[in-house]
Amino acid sequence: MKGGKTSRKVLNELYARPLPLVLSSEAYNVTIPNVFPHNPISWIYLVWKIVQINTLNRVPQSQIPALTVQLEESIFKVADEADFITLWRCGFFGKGVLSRSEPTWKERSIKRFNTVQNDKQFSMEELTKKRRDERKKFKAERAKLQELELKQRKEELSSEDAASLEGLKILLSKMRMNPSIKNISTDDLKVETEESELADIIDLEYLQLQAIETFYLKFALNVINVYESHLLSTLQLFDRCCRLSQGEGPNNTFIIEYSVYHYFRSLGWCVRSGIKFGCDMLLYKRGPPFTHAEFAVMIIPGDEKLCRDWFDMAAIARVIGTVKKTLVLAFVEYPNRETYDQILLSEFEDEKEKFTQLLGKYRVTEILYRRWAPGRTRD
């Protein structure tokens, strides 16, 4: 039975797309041929290929219907199961409201109530529980060992105790070497239920998107439609997002945050909220299932009159340091009110153009903040 750490290969297959966009090469199984500068035939072949693809095949993305996002009481919801699976698998957007991050509630419930016999891998929540149980068990055994060792010191050890002491030593070293988390079975996680209780499980979970994620999916990728009571245009969505956050004008929290989000996303990082570490964002190389986040981003609006305190900075840096991440201060310089209003009010052929113009006025500057321990850098 599979379980525990999923192999790299499986992960690569599962999360093959870093964005919810389908490539032409994937859709039509074509590749752009290599060009050898000294070989004119390769040139012709390349041109032929490009012409062929452009004339014969539609762009795959134009064939895919937009995903549906509902804005209800200032929450961006994705209720459709297929939609939220796409959003999670392709770029790790949003959070399942009944799960830790990946929306796994339904899957877990099915397993718990034993309605379907499946030997799929475990969800992260289940693994965590399992690991903690095991740790508890380990500690209990260790306590026993220590008690016996104390007895040994007091020289009250009976021959029976001595045998169990040796046994415990071996057991503990075994537990340390190979935690059984690698081979747990689904039986450990089942809830005893009577046959009559079995019923289909309705998916109560939905995916909640951050405002910046929603705006990115709409404005930058154009893969979602956001509905409030009606379909929202990009400008309307922008307006809603700004109103949900603090401040107004060119330095409102939403657009400052978004400019940083867009910046890192466009560099191929998987960006997720950093609230658990007291910062604004976390940067993953590929996504949460692959590696831990390597960078934590703290956003500071460029000409902040009220400067940050040394103590707050030290506190955050200390937390980030202990989880082996690097703290990045993202300073955002923003345009003045005049330019901001002018761009928002002027007419553009296309809404994306307007916001591309606007975001072009924002500049992100990264500064790395790390503690220096003189005792450790001497040699």
Partner 1 sequence: MAKRVGYLVVRTGPQGDEAIIPQGESNHDIEDEVQDWRNLSKSLGSSTKTQAAIPKRGEKEFEPDGTSVQNRALQESRESMYEALSGLRGHSLKQKLVAVWMSDQGQSIVVHAKGNYFRDVGIPVNIGTKVRGGLMLSPLETVYLVERGSMVCYLGDAHYEQWLYNDTKDFDYDSLVMLDLGFLYAIVAETSHFDVDQYQVYSYLKRHGYLILQTKAKEQREHQAKTINAKQQAHKSTPETHKSIPDTRNLSSGLMFLLGIGRKLSQATSYWGSLFSTLIHHCKKALVYIQSKLISMGVFAVPTSHSLHYFTKHYFNYTEVFQSLRITPSSAVPAPSSTSLSFQLVFDVWKPTTSFSKKSPPPPDFQLCVVNTDHSNFPSLATIRSLFEVVNKEEPVKPTEKKPKKKSTLPPTKKELKYQRQLERQARLDAKVQQRNLYLKTRDNKLKFGSSGVNVIIATVNQGILNFVNLSEADFELKEIEDLDVIYPGKDHGIVYMDG
Find the shortest distance in angstroms from Cβ 338 to partner 1: 11
| The two structure tokens encoding residue 343 | 């761009």
What does the H/E/C string look like for 252-282? CHHHHHHHHHHHHHHCCCEEEECHHHCCCEE
Find the shortest distance in angstroms from Cβ 133 to partner 1: 11
Find the shortest distance in angstroms from Cβ 198 to partner 1: 19
Question: How far, in Å, CA of 116 to CA of 119, rounded?
Answer: 9
Q: Phi then psi for 261, rounded to 5 degrees?
A: -60, -50
Which region among 68-76, 137-145, 176-184, 203-211 touches partner 1 (by CB under 8 A)?
137-145
Question: How far, in Å, CA of 232 to CA of 250, rounded?
Answer: 22
Per-residue binder mask for partner 1 (CB under 8 A), 272-291, x = binder: -------------xx-----
Helix ranges restricted to H, 290-336 = 310-322
Q: Which is nearer to partner 1, 72 or 147 (CB)?
A: 147
Per-residue binder mask for partner 1 (CB under 8 A), 201-230, x = binder: ------------------xxxxx-------
Find the shortest distance in angstroms from Cβ 88 to partner 1: 17
Question: How far, in Å, CA of 377 to CA of 120, rounded?
Answer: 48
Which region among 72-80, 179-187, 236-244, 266-274 touches partner 1 (by CB under 8 A)?
266-274
| Sheet with strand 224-227: strands edge to edge | 95-96, 207-209, 75-78, 67-72, 224-227
Find the shortest distance in angstroms from Cβ 340 to partner 1: 11
> CA 180 → CA 3, 52, 132, 358, distances in Å?
11, 54, 12, 54
Do the Cβ atoms of 92 and 270 come closer than 8 Å? yes
Which region among 3-11, 68-76, 195-203, 295-303 touches partner 1 (by CB under 8 A)?
295-303
Asked if residue 89 binds partner 1 (CB under 8 A), the reply is no
> CA 344 → CA 90, 303, 353, distances in Å?
31, 22, 11
Beta-bridge partners for 284: 270
Asked if residue 256 binds partner 1 (CB under 8 A), the reply is no
Q: Which is nearer to partner 1, 24 or 245 (CB)?
A: 24
Do the Cβ atoms of 132 and 124 come closer than 8 Å? no
| The two structure tokens encoding residue 10 | 């499986």
What does the H/E/C string look like for 11-35? HHHHCCCCCCCCCHHHHHCCCCCCC
- Footprint of partner 1 on residues 14-73 (CB under 8 A)? 17-19, 21, 23-25, 30-32, 53-55, 57-59, 61-62
Q: Using the rule CB under 8 A, which residue among 119, 147, 166, 239 binds partner 1? A: 147
CA-closest candidate to residue 270, choices 94, 96, 144: 94
Question: How far, in Å, CA of 72 to CA of 68, rounded?
Answer: 13
Residue 357 parent element (H or E): helix 351-359
**Catalytically annotated residues:** 284, 292, 325
- Footprint of partner 1 on residues 227-246 (CB under 8 A)? 234
Per-residue binder mask for partner 1 (CB under 8 A), 154-173, x = binder: x-------------------
Which region among 129-137, 159-167, 204-212, 237-245 touches partner 1 (by CB under 8 A)?
129-137
- Footprint of partner 1 on residues 107-126 (CB under 8 A)? 108, 125-126
- Footprint of partner 1 on residues 314-373 (CB under 8 A)? 314, 317, 326, 328, 331, 333-336, 339, 350-353, 356-357, 359-373
Q: Using the rule CB under 8 A, which residue among 158, 196, 229, 311 binds partner 1? A: 311
Find the shortest distance in angstroms from Cβ 194 to partner 1: 16
Q: How many residues bind partner 1 (CB under 8 A)?
A: 101
